[in-house]
A = this chain, B = another copy of it.
Amino acid sequence: MNEQGVLVIVSGFSGAGKGTLVKELMNKYPDQYALSISVTTRRPREGELHGNDYFFVSQEEFQEMISKDELIEYAQYVDNYYGTPKKYVYEKMKEGKDVILEIEIQGALKVKEKYQDAILLFVTPPNAIELKNRLVGRGTEDMNTVVKRFKRGCEEAEGIENYDYLVVNDKLEDCVSKVHSIIQNEHSKAFRNKEYIKKIIKELNNILEGEI
User: In chain A, residues 147-178, which have Cβ atoms closer than 8 Å to a Cβ of chain B?
Assistant: 147, 150-151, 153-154, 157-158, 160-168, 178
Question: Are B163's CB and A203's CB within 8 A?
Answer: no
* B-binding segment of A55-63, A80-88, A193-201: A193-201
Chain B residues positioned under 8 Å from A208 (CB to CB):
147, 150-151, 154
We find that the number of chain A residues with CB closer than 8 angstroms to chain B is: 48
Q: Which of A124, A167, A185, A194 has the most CB of B within 10 A?
A: A185
A209 to B212 Cα, complex, angstroms: 75
Chain B residues positioned under 8 Å from A131 (CB to CB):
204
Taking a contact as CB atoms closer than 8 A, the residue among B122, B168, B193, B204 that contacts A157 in the complex is: B204
Chain B residues positioned under 8 Å from A212 (CB to CB):
147
Chain B residues positioned under 8 Å from A161 (CB to CB):
190-191, 194, 197
- Is the CB of A78 closer than 8 A to any CB of chain B? no
Question: Are A185's CB and B190's CB within 8 A?
Answer: no
Question: Are A207's CB and B166's CB within 8 A?
Answer: no
Q: With contacts A181-B185, A185-B182, A211-B147 known, is A127 near B203, CB below 8 A?
A: yes
Q: With contacts A124-B200, A207-B150 known, is A163 near B190, CB below 8 A?
A: yes
The 3 nearest A-B residue pairs measured at CB: A128-B203, A157-B201, A163-B190
